[in-house]
Structure 1
Amino acid sequence: MKLTIYGIARSRAIRNLWMAEELGLAYQHVQTVYGPEGSRKPDFLKLNPNGRVPAADVDGVILWESLAINLHLAKKVGGSLSPKDVDEDGLMTMWSMWAVTEVETPALAVLTHGSLKSEAERDNALLAKSIEALKAPLAVLEAHLAAHSGHLVGGRFTVADLNVAACVFYLRLSNLLADKPAITAWYTGAMERPAAKKAFALRGD
């Protein structure tokens, strides 16, 4: 397989770098920053006309959207991270879409306005709203993990776990998981995987 990943590690491209490492794939990583010096350049817009990273070239197929790229790689390569059948495929897609619709946006707001921005720059109303919005989905995730041996699908670590953990990553500086032992154990285990360590080291945190 010929795989090229466009983006920087301190972006959603980290999800694809992690997936490539999990699958043991050789890949080219083209450092592409946000904005006019990268994702808005004419050459990149030919790959992703939305002007966002990441993008990926998988054997000549150009894909956008980090979680969709990972789902595609899982099915193309196969193995334990991949769906065994159409039912698992549906469940892995469901959890990935759930992470985007229920977790990612409020979690990113919690990270931004709870930790990254200065006190003067923070939107405390948005922070409070986002914390409230996360209560129900985090309860759903906690209950599911507790009832399913600490994994989302099939009793093993799959692309679904990777995709959802990559969204929960935005909560790493908050205390919102303090009363969620199943999520904490699952997330810690995901981030301790050798492939995760190798990929996240590229962020330079």
Structure 2
Amino acid sequence: MLKNGALLALFAMLCTALVAGINQFTYDKIKQQEAQELLRVLHQIIPDNIHDNNLIEHCILIHNPEALGTDEPLPAYIASMQGEPVAIALETVAPDGYNGDIKIIIAIDTNQQVLGVRTLSHNETPGLGDKIELRKSDWVTGFNGLRVFEDNKSRWAVKKDGGDFDQFTGATITPRAYVKAVHKAVSFFNAEQQKLLTRPANCEVEYE
């Protein structure tokens, strides 16, 4: 029994070492792929013709649980043309999706108009809630060109709740949470635009 126990312990140690080695080997590659995917999304929602800077390198960290739906600081990427800010892409979270958090990124220009919205990650039900993915549906493009004003607040809701946004058949919770999260993030930018766009853009400065 002692021999078998020793063999099992050795086997477990070897497996642990192997997994750790694989994780270490693939970590940098995974991070590189994530950065490339983020850059691809950023170029989708912030047109290349309105900025001349590297979006990934020009970011700040924002900590605002009420506005962004999470207690974790989230990055925001600032687009500029000849040194002048022209837009921002805010990451935010809809914490009340049907199956948990929905991570979203929203591009807004300095006229407080939504340039584009994309879903970064989610666990919503395939065939129902996953219509928040652009490859499954063009629903997220419905935010393009919109603004948030005090007098249009009620329109920022799904049609079932009296708003302008379509809900999904059999999945109202997902779009309801999504619209709410986008509205809160845009409202936050509208209120804090000057402060956000003048922060040092080094992705290490945390804004509260």
Taking structure 1 as the reference length, what is the TM-score of the superposition?
Answer: 0.31
Higher relative contact order (CA 8 A, sep 6+): 1
Q: Which has the larger radius of gyration?
A: 2
Question: Per residue, is there more strand in 1 or in 2?
Answer: 2
Question: Per residue, is there more helix in 1 or in 2?
Answer: 1
